[in-house]
Amino acid sequence: MPPNPPLEHLATVVAALEREPLSPAALRDLGDADLLALTDLGASARRLLDARTALIAGELARRSRPELAHEGLAQRLGHRTAEELVRVTTGESRRDAATAVSAGRLLAAGSAGPGRDPDPAGLPPAPAHLEPAIAAARSGILGAAALDAIRTGLGDASGTISSASLHAACERLVEAAASLDVDRLHRLARSLREGLDSEAIVDRERAQREARSFRLTTLPDGMARATWLLDPESAAQVRELVDRATSPKRRTVQFADPADLEKAQRIANDERTPDQYASDALLHLLRAGADADSSMMLGSGAPSVRVLVTARDLALGAGSGSLEAAVGRPDGVVVALPTVQRLLCGGTQTPILIAPTGQPLDVGRAQRLFTARQRIALAARDGGCRWPGCERPPSWCEAHHIEHWQRDGGRTDVDVGILLCRHHHLLLHDQEWSIVRAGNGCDYELIPPESVDPRRRPRPMPSRSREWRRALAS
């Protein structure tokens, strides 16, 4: 049999790994720097193997394409689809197998660029705008899951969005992928797509609104399960009510008003879990409507959903906005401009005044704690905890003085304030991290202690607020 380079190459890699298995003891003997270097090497090796495994899955899909019917490879082996063949052969989950096949089709197919013919072997050509991501996956920069996240997030060219625009967005995603996990990469891809095609947001909102539902199912033991599928706008209102009810139990709020402090302490000391308390609070709201027992919640009145929109989009009457970030949606939920205008008309927003530097609201050293209006401004600017990689929403965050109030004589101004979740706020103070402004705008950098990085190299702290980034870019 003639030599087969791909087969021999992978066989050599597998044999080498089998000869040198890693043991827990060997890892325990490593220093922190070596362990982190090993983590990076493992990630690189996985991406390289991912690309090869996906390419193999793509070839399996090519040999199992539907037009071959029972002559296709998968059906000859008793499987209905190429995805099922990959799943059974590799032992991967159904989702991972589908991802591998989807990415493999892109890697195995030719490009649909100008003047290029479809693949004569039978696979449809890959969209031209995905060329940067395909090249990155073939070289091991992207894994199969990252490639599929970019594909599904960007979607296809349409009458309102060109392939060239998507190609530029794809290049940005490949560059950003080095510091993003697959979920964040997909959200960024969706955000870029929606930024290019605001008309699609209206259709997506309408479909989500039509899909809303509520179902109460009685279980065999007499308990009942509520399944409530909410469109993003409705979910934001429910989430705000739940956050108001349970924030004292998460110890994420600070008060200057003694009455609020007393109520928060009572809620925090309640023996019910946060989930139980949220359930009881929502039940009270359902029972009493607008006259619900307000002692269970901080604040009163209807839920106030924060809507972020650039002044430019609002003035032009075109574009989109977003609802404030939340757990699982750290970039917020993009909404169409008509939705923004309706919510603003309903009085559910608080104006945020922006200084020429791009920073909102100054109050100097007149007080130590940030005001409610300042916290709203920080929430709009930061989009949640700005510690790199954290996804805690604004409602779970505390306002940190980057110039310490007592030690540095720091001012209570928004430009020297930043949102951090409680975990990272404590970590910053306990482990001697620091934060500095980068320039005169809204950019900040995290400085690690020498114990983490002897060179103390700054780490960017990007805002997660989509609308704030667009406002500064416009």
pLDDT digit string, tens, across residues 1-23: 455 677 777 788 778 777 877 77
Residue 63 has phi, psi (to 5 degrees) of -80, -5
- C-alpha distance from residue 214 to each of 139, 183, 225, 226 (Å): 47, 27, 11, 7
- d(CA 442, CA 215) in angstroms, rounded, equals 45
pLDDT at 352: 39
Structure token pair of residue 282: 């929502």
User: Please, are residues 147 and 133 in contact by the beta-carbon 8 Å criterion?
Assistant: yes
Nearest to 322 by CA among 333, 312, 314, 313: 333
- d(CA 145, CA 155) in angstroms, rounded, equals 15
pLDDT at 358: 45
pLDDT at 173: 94
Nearest to 131 by CA among 97, 168, 162: 168
Q: What share of the chain is helix, strand, coil (3-state, %, to 5)?
A: 55, 10, 35
- d(CA 467, CA 474) in angstroms, rounded, equals 10
| Cβ-Cβ contacts under 8 Å for 111 (sequence gap 6 or more) | 125, 126, 128, 131, 134
- d(CA 396, CA 327) in angstroms, rounded, equals 9
pLDDT at 368: 44
Percent of the chain with pLDDT over 70: 76
For the chain, the straight-line distance linking the first and the last C-alpha, in angstroms and rounded, comes to: 63
pTM for the predicted model, two decimal places? 0.59
Domain assignments of the chain as residue spans, ordered by start = 5-193, 229-296, 307-345, 372-473
Residue 421, sorted as left (phi over 0), alpha (psi -120 to 50) or beta, turns out to be beta
pLDDT digits (tens, 9 = 90+) for 141-165: 888 899 999 999 998 888 778 889 9
3 state DSSP class of 428: helix
β-pairing verdict for 333-336 and 320-323: antiparallel
3 state DSSP class of 225: strand
pLDDT at 251: 67
Structure token pair of residue 355: 């200084």
pLDDT at 28: 85
pLDDT at 367: 44
pLDDT at 411: 56
| Cβ-Cβ contacts under 8 Å for 89 (sequence gap 6 or more) | none
| Side chain identity, residue 139 | S
Q: Which residues of the chain have pLDDT under 50?
A: 1, 111-118, 120, 290-292, 327, 346-368, 405-409
User: Please, are residues 363 and 374 in contact by the beta-carbon 8 Å criterion?
Assistant: yes
Structure token pair of residue 460: 């960017």
Q: Residue 153: count other Cβ atoms within 10 Å of its Cβ.
A: 20
- C-alpha distance from residue 319 to each of 172, 173, 202, 331, 336 (Å): 21, 21, 11, 17, 7
- d(CA 147, CA 355) in angstroms, rounded, equals 40
| Cβ-Cβ contacts under 8 Å for 440 (sequence gap 6 or more) | 357
pLDDT at 415: 74
| Side chain identity, residue 436 | V
CA 94 to chain centre: 23
| Cβ-Cβ contacts under 8 Å for 132 (sequence gap 6 or more) | 167, 170, 171, 174
- d(CA 159, CA 165) in angstroms, rounded, equals 12
